[in-house]
Structure 1
Amino acid sequence: MRYFIITGTSRGIGESLARILLNDENNQVICISRGMSENLNFQSGLKPVNVFNFSFDLNNLSDIESLFQSVFSFINEDNVDSIYLINNAGILSPIGPIEETISEDVIRNINVNLIAPILLTSHFIKYTKNWKIDKRVLNISSGSAKYLLPSQSPYSTAKAGLDSFTKSIYIEQKEEPFPVKVASVYPGVIDTKLQTEIRSTSKEKFPYVELFNQLYVEGKLQTPLETAEKLIQLLMSSDYGKETLVEELTQM
């Protein structure tokens, strides 16, 4: 069996990833999110043995270790051919000049976008350290890590940190006898809740809001499903992990 641990599956890219993977009866999908997608509830009802759902807020950093204890209690090592972690969950807010942000919002942003993926990856590597199988981590980053805009400093900083973390883990793992392959990817501009949040922001708080409204009006946003298909093709490719930062997510 192939096991996929995915965060942020209640909507958007994460939900689409899970839906695609559940079409293969050889896949076991472990979903981690604050809420459960109605679409996945329906689909999991068709294949109850192929999906496990964990309701969890990644802002609760101190509970991530116990979360992974629960996750791996569902995994029989003797039945695992390969295992993958997709750090997909992310939040955009707060949007605005840094002096106008609320401290709790900044902390939550960094927790969910950076510290939680670090801890999840750490536990994933720890639990699978001696497993002689294909092991991979895919970190969903953002072009905002490289192409900076005003009013998104916590988000951009967290994603830049995620990219650096990915590169560091690659250096660590390449010397291991049973290494975990890792890559960070910029998925592109996608029609998700984050984009809706950007478009609803005032020009006073985010001067580039009209640019994002124009992309939406002109139909230049990728769908979550299209993006998820490309991400899975990237994750399952034979060259995965040779390039630690994938800035252009193209059809494989």
Structure 2
Amino acid sequence: MKYFIITGTSRGIGESLVKQLLHNQDHHIICISRNEHNFVDIEKEYPAHISYFSFDLNEIIGIDHLFQKIFTLVDEQNINSIYLINNAGILSPIGPVEENESEEIIRNFNVNLLAPYLFTANFIRHTNHLKVDKRILNISSGSAKYLLPSQSAYSTAKAGVDSFSKSIHLEQKDKSHPVKIVSVYPGMIDTQLQTEIRSTSTEKFPHVELFKQLHSEGNLQTPDKTAEQLLELLYSAEYGAQTIVEELTLNDH
């Protein structure tokens, strides 16, 4: 059995990942999102196992307990691999830093940086003894490297994700059964984050017209295509050799 723990599964890339993984009866998908999502009808169509936890990643103090519950679902006698995909993310606050509300800044760092960090720590803690294939995929952003004004919280949090991914790689690389970890920039995708950017005023975000143009010209990738590329990366034989993956490409078969 392959186990997948995925955050942010109610929409966008996360929802697309779940739907694609449901095609295999040897998959057990553990979905985590703040908003409840009805996967019951979807599950009836496909043979995979699916479990759901309603959890707000801003409530970081509860993550340890959440993982205790998650790992009651893992059958250690019937597992050949286990994967964590830290997918959930938020963009707000957008605007000059002095205009950002403190609560929004804290929520951004909780969801985009501290939650993935704590998920990673708990994942490793609960799988240290497992002699199976173990992988973590952190969904980062080109904003971690290519900076724009008015996105300081988001860019800083994603840069932090890249940094801790590199650190965890150093900790794990010489272990007999290491956790392989990658932080990936998935590109420009037609998700809720892009919708939020386009609805921002020019006063708060001077580059908003560029994002509107990308959308109007059809230059945004679909969540389904992105999910397909992410899973190809996750399954690749060389996974983990490169900790930061800045470009997703889909191989022709």
Give matches, 1:138-149, under 5 Å.
138-149=137-148
Give matches, 1:240-251, under 5 Å.
240-251=239-250
Alignment match, 2:167:
168
How much has 1:41 moved relative to structure 2?
3.6
Tell whether 2:213 aligns with 1:219: no
The DSSP-based 3-state class of the residue aligned with 1:243 is coil
CA contact (8 A) 1:199 1:213 kept: yes
How much has 1:46 moved relative to structure 2?
3.5
Q: Which ranges in structure 1 are unaligned for 5 or more consecutive residues?
A: none
How much has 1:49 moved relative to structure 2?
6.2
Alignment match, 1:239:
238
Distance 1:232 1:48 in 2: 19
Distance 1:186 1:61 in 2: 24
How much has 1:181 moved relative to structure 2?
0.4
CA contact (8 A) 2:24 2:47 kept: no
**Greater per-residue helix proportion:** 1
How much has 1:175 moved relative to structure 2?
1.9
Read off the aligned partner of 2:157 and give its amino acid letter.
A
- Tell me the alpha carbon deviations over residues 19-59 of structure 1, each in whole angstroms, 9 at most, x when there is no partner: 00011111110000012334x34212435860000000011
Distance 2:140 2:179 in 1: 18
Alignment match, 2:100:
101
Distance 1:116 1:211 in 2: 31
Alignment match, 2:53:
54
Aligned-residue identity in percent: 63
Residue 49 to residue 23, structure 1, CA distance change in 2 (3 Å): closer
Distance 1:41 1:197 in 2: 29
Distance 1:101 1:48 in 2: 46
Distance 1:97 1:121 in 2: 31
Alignment match, 1:156:
155
Give matches, 1:30-49, under 5 Å.
30-38=30-38, 40-47=39-46
Residue 132 to residue 248, structure 1, CA distance change in 2 (3 Å): same
- Tell me the alpha carbon deviations over residues 111-137 of structure 1, each in whole angstroms, 9 at most, x when there is no partner: 000000000000000100011100000
Alignment match, 1:136:
135
Alignment match, 1:20:
20
Read off the aligned partner of 1:73 and give its amino acid letter.
T
The DSSP-based 3-state class of the residue aligned with 2:77 is helix
Distance 1:42 1:31 in 2: 15
Read off the aligned partner of 2:54 and give its amino acid letter.
S
Tell whether 2:176 aligns with 1:177: yes
CA contact (8 A) 2:190 2:222 kept: yes
Distance 2:223 2:37 in 1: 14
The DSSP-based 3-state class of the residue aligned with 1:51 is strand
Q: Give RMSD over aligned pairs.
A: 1.0
Tell which deviates more after alignment, 43-52 or 17-26: 43-52
CA contact (8 A) 1:31 1:52 kept: yes
TM-score normalised by the chain length of structure 2: 0.97
Residue 49 to residue 238, structure 1, CA distance change in 2 (3 Å): closer
CA contact (8 A) 2:26 2:48 kept: no
TM-score normalised by the chain length of structure 1: 0.98
Q: Which ranges in structure 2 are unaligned for 5 or more consecutive residues?
A: none
The DSSP-based 3-state class of the residue aligned with 1:183 is strand
Distance 1:212 1:44 in 2: 36
The DSSP-based 3-state class of the residue aligned with 2:29 is strand
